[in-house]
């Protein structure tokens, strides 16, 4: 750098009428805007690709159908029957009640877990954190185990009894972690440690429940902890989609503040007018609800909440205005790919998505880390 | 003329007063150097002014407003802050980091004027060639210049810095302090800078405040607060206070 003293022009040289963004393509502001356009284009392309992939995997399976059939079923239901689906009843049943809810749920679950991961990593300023780090998944697993063990016969909430119990326990864990950190005024690092401690506690409690379970109950508990999209029905899809439809736009509106918090830290964020405690509380609550709603219906699907954000960040950079929507897409794509492989690779055996996702995700993750370039920041 | 007026501040931690009835003012056009030994309360005073600490007693006024009752965003339009070193975080570009200085002025996304001011601030700190580098590819001195650019982009009448030069080599120290004193000399910005190097403080400050054990021990124009007697009282060090080629020098000789 040069030792010369930079000229400091009077601050009045900056006044709204005098400042025009230079039009030259090489001005810094223009370059910044260009990088924004690039990122929006990447997000749009990725979304279109994801939708195309979703349609093309929906028609694949043991009962093969054509793309035309699928489009007819979608058109028929989108128009409330005004357009007749006119295909055989079995194909329509398979597409409408097995494939479509499953594929849509895979994408929504992946998106929700990935967005929750982005939020948790942002507010703890720690890239190793995922929604599970604060004990949400093991608490949900314990709730599910309790429901499976003791809930038979008192299923007042019908098919929602296990998800509801899992959700309640996930919220209990998150509330415990959050209120402890509030009470002792702990930083994010202490909060992570508390969450990990709770995670072990709930795992031990689940193990204790399994210890006294019958063979049949044990099988169900274990299967639940794999995380699976088998038997997903539309109501579950709608609930998770509704949660995501609230969480994503609400946090998108806070995206710039998340940028400030992740880059500048608490002190500087505060000095820039960001209400750090409020932002952190909001992000935690929404991340926990998003993750817990998905886990409660599908069981424990790890890794997406950790890798989805990283893949997105490596491809599009750390600006949360683009990272949040793009992480939703990468998470959705990852879970869709994992479930499709799990569904088709050993058909008719369906491998639970929670298992496949690690087999798909880890090589991808390692590839990205090893081939990472440092240029993709703006 | 906008003045920061912190009066009779008392902050306690664990039953001990870390700030004990401290008053300090900074007006536009001034560069106030805040000196004192470790634990004297410099950082606490800086953070109290930024509103981190609960005040046991005292008031902070700026531009006729009570800062302790103001919204964070309003304060952020009056007082900008530069920490000792930027924290490790998720890496983003220099441009994006400087643009964050516009946060109190913008909505959910930057307007064209925010980009223009950012560009101007980057040019002031001679960071043009680094604008689209990742922050984690920069040296410590370059990173600190980015912090200064961000504070400048905030367009506040007051700038508060917590030992911004402590981790820098002498070249970057001179650059940063010269930059700050030129900024104050425009008459439009008041600077309060906590600083360890007494010679630098005496050289660049229009006023120096010497703190010790949570109190103001001495205060004076230029480096006048720094005499062998006050330095001995504050640091327990015998020092020679002199000038070389017109540059003030505080030379520590021996611990008493």
Q: Is residue A37 part of a domain?
A: yes
Q: Is residue A141 part of a domain?
A: yes
A297-317: pLDDT as tens digits: 888 887 888 889 988 988 888
Interface A-B: count of C-beta contacts within 8 A: 165
**pLDDT on residue A4:** 45
pLDDT value at A378 more than 90: no
Q: Is residue A264 part of a domain?
A: yes
Query: How remote is the C-alpha of A253 from its chain's centroid?
Result: 17
How far apart CA A163 and CA A294 sit, in angstroms, is 9
Domain that holds residue A97: 30-370
Q: Measured between CB atoms, does A278 come within 8 Å of chain B? A: no
Q: Is residue A22 part of a domain?
A: no
Q: Which residues pair with B66 in a beta bridge?
A: B61
Q: Do B100 and A272 touch (CB under 8 A)?
A: yes
- State pTM to two decimals: 0.88
Closest CA to A243 of A320, A296, A188: A296
Q: Which residues pair with B254 in a beta bridge?
A: B238
Closest CA to B127 of A2, A377, A24, A14: A2
Query: At which residue do the structure tokens 């886990």 appear?
Result: A295
Q: Do A12 and B109 touch (CB under 8 A)?
A: no
Q: What is the mean pLDDT of chain A?
A: 82
How far apart CA B150 and CA B80 sit, in angstroms, is 9
Q: Which residues 6+ apart lie within 8 Å of A17 measured at CB?
A: none
A63-96: pLDDT as tens digits: 777 777 788 778 777 777 666 666 777 777 777 7
How far apart CA B176 and CA B183 sit, in angstroms, is 10
Question: How close B125 comes to chain A (CA, Å)?
Answer: 7
Residues in chain B, overall count:
256
Q: A292 is written with which tokens?
A: 């817990």
A191-217: pLDDT as tens digits: 888 888 888 999 899 888 888 888 888
Q: A138 is written with which tokens?
A: 């093991």
Which bin fits B246, alpha (ψ -120 to 50), beta or left (φ > 0)? Answer: left
**For position A340, which CATH number holds?**
1.10.3470.10
**pLDDT on residue B99:** 94
Q: Is residue A324 part of a domain?
A: yes
Question: What number of H helices and E strands is found in chain A?
Answer: 14, 0
How far apart CA B189 and CA B200 sit, in angstroms, is 20
Q: B5 is written with which tokens?
A: 């007026």
A115-153: pLDDT as tens digits: 999 999 998 888 888 877 778 888 888 888 888 887 654
Label residues B186-203 b or e (16+ Cβ within 10 Å = b). eebbbbbbbbebbbbbbb
Domain that holds residue B204: 3-255
Number of structural domains chain B divides into: 1
Number of structural domains chain A divides into: 1
Q: Measured between CB atoms, does A40 come within 8 Å of chain B? A: no
**ipTM of predicted complex:** 0.90
Question: How close B209 comes to chain A (CA, Å)?
Answer: 23
The DSSP secondary structure of A177-209, one letter per residue, reads HHHHHHHTT--HHHHHHHHHHHHHHHHHHHHHH
**For position B218, which CATH number holds?**
3.40.50.300
For residue A214, CA distances in Å to A154, A220, A229 come to 18, 10, 24
A14-47: pLDDT as tens digits: 444 455 555 556 788 888 888 889 999 999 999 9
A318 contact residues in B (CB cutoff 8 A): 90-92
Chain A residues 307-326 within an 8 A CB cutoff of chain B: 313, 317-319, 321
How far apart CA A365 and CA A309 sit, in angstroms, is 11
- B-interface mutation test, from A10, A27, A377, A378, most B Cβ less than 10 A away: A377
Residue segments in chain B with a per-residue pLDDT below the cut of 50:
none
Q: Is residue A5 part of a domain?
A: no
Query: At which residue do the structure tokens 């919220």 appear?
Result: A171
B209 three-class SS: strand
A257 contact residues in B (CB cutoff 8 A): 103
pLDDT value at A375 more than 60: no
């Amino acid at each position: 750098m040069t030792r010369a003293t930079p000229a400091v022009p009077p601050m009045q040289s900056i006044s709204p009428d005098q400042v025009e963004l230079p039009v030259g393509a090489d001005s810094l502001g223009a370059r910044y805007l260009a990088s924004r356009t690039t990122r929006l284009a990447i997000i749009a392309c990725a979304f279109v690709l994801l939708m195309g992939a979703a349609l093309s995997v929906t028609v694949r399976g043991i009962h093969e159908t054509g793309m035309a059939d699928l489009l007819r079923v979608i058109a028929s239901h989108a128009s409330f029957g005004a357009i007749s689906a006119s295909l055989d009843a079995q194909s329509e049943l398979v597409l409408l009640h097995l494939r479509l809810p499953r594929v849509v749920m895979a994408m929504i679950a992946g998106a929700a877990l990935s967005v929750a991961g982005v939020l948790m990593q942002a507010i703890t300023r720690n890239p190793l954190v995922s929604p599970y780090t604060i004990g949400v998944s093991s608490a949900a697993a314990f709730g599910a185990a309790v429901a499976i063990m003791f809930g038979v016969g008192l299923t007042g909430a019908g098919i929602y009894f296990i998800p509801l119990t899992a959700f309640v326990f996930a919220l209990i864990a998150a509330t415990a972690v959050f209120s402890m950190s509030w009470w002792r005024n702990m930083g994010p690092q202490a909060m992570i440690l508390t969450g990990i401690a709770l995670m072990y506690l709930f795992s031990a409690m689940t193990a204790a429940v399994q210890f006294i379970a019958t063979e049949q109950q044990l099988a169900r508990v274990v299967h639940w902890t794999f995380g699976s999209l088998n038997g997903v029905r539309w109501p579950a899809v709608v609930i998770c989609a509704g949660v995501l439809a609230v969480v994503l736009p609400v946090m998108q509106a806070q995206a710039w503040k998340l940028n400030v918090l992740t880059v500048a830290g608490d002190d500087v964020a505060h000095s820039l007018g960001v209400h750090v405690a409020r932002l952190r509380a909001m992000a935690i609550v929404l991340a926990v609800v998003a993750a817990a709603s998905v886990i409660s219906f599908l069981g424990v699907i790890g890794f997406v909440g950790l890798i989805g954000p990283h893949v997105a960040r490596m491809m599009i950079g750390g600006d949360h205005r683009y990272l949040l929507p793009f992480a939703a897409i990468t998470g959705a794509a990852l879970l869709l790919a994992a479930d499709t492989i799990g569904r088709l690779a050993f058909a008719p055996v369906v491998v639970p998505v929670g298992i496949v996702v690690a087999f798909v995700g880890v090589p991808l993750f390692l590839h990205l880390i090893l081939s990472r370039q440092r240029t993709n920041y703006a | 003329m906008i003045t920061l007026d912190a009066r009779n501040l008392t902050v306690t931690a664990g039953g001990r007063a870390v700030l004990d009835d401290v008053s300090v003012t900074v007006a536009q056009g001034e560069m106030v150097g805040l000196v004192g030994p470790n634990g004297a309360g410099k950082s606490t005073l800086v953070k109290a002014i930024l509103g981190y600490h609960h005040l046991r007693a005292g008031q902070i006024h700026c531009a006729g407003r009570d800062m302790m009752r103001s919204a964070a965003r309003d304060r952020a339009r009056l007082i900008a802050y530069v920490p000792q070193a930027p924290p490790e975080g998720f890496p983003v570009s220099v441009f994006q980091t400087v643009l964050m200085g516009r946060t109190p002025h913008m909505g959910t996304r930057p307007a064209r004027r925010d980009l223009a001011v950012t560009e101007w601030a980057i040019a002031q700190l001679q960071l043009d060639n680094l604008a689209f580098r990742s922050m984690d590819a920069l040296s410590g001195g370059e990173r600190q210049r980015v912090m200064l650019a961000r504070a400048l982009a905030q367009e506040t009448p007051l700038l508060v810095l917590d030992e911004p030069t402590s981790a820098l080599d002498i070249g970057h120290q001179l650059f940063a302090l010269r930059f700050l004193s030129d900024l104050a000399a425009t008459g439009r910005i008041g600077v309060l800078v906590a600083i360890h190097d007494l010679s630098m403080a005496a050289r660049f400050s229009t006023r120096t405040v010497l703190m010790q054990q949570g109190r103001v021990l001495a205060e004076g124009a230029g480096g006048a607060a720094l005499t062998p007697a006050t330095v001995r009282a504050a640091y327990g060090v015998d020092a020679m206070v002199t000038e070389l080629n017109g540059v003030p020098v505080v030379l520590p000789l021996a611990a008493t």
